[in-house]
Amino acid sequence: MAFQLTPEREQELAEIFARYPNKMAACLPLLHLAQEQHGWVSDEVVTWVAEKLDVSTAHVFGVATFYSLYHTHPVGKHHVWVCRTLSCALHGADDIVKHCEKRLGIHVGETTADGAVTLHTAECLASCGTAPMMQIDREYHENLTLAKVDVLLDRLRKS
């Protein structure tokens, strides 16, 4: 089935196009808009974006696979990102990743069987002074310990 936006998002689409000098410049916001609705960037979404922008599906797929914020396969309702850059690594990020994998029963890049959580690592989440840290959906959680991670994951699994 072909991807289509909801009527509300069609209005957002018009607003996006009005902000850019040409259609191709709107590729990133269109991918975000479609992913917000669909949950991930499927082949149908790639085709829809390509048609809206009058570009090839190869171009859109290249953009979607270049940026880590676009998901090219189904993902969980919640996203857990563990920062692994130097500051976080020196303060135990590897232990936090291993702990999350064990608690969630998945590896980095995977989604729990119930579709609730996808686990990622990030190169930098810009919170070096409060390392180690993780981002859950859009919230930062800093100065982590394994006990704090347990509380966060328990809360996440209950929501």
**pLDDT tens-digit map of 44-58:** 999 999 999 999 999
Class of the domain covering 7-66: mainly alpha
Give CATH 1.10.10.1590 domain extents, the chain.
7-66
pLDDT tens readout for residues 57-80: 999 999 999 998 899 999 999 999
Task: Give the rounded percent of residues in the chain with a pLDDT score beyond 70.
Answer: 100
Question: Does the structure show a pLDDT above 80 at 144?
Answer: yes
CATH topology of domain 78-158: Glutaredoxin (3.40.30)
pLDDT digits (tens, 9 = 90+) for 86-118: 999 999 999 999 999 999 999 999 999 999 999
Give the whole-angstrom CA distance, residue 1 versus residue 40. Answer: 15
- β pairing state of 139-141 and 117-122: unpaired
The rounded distance, in Å, linking the Cα atoms of 93 and 24 is: 38
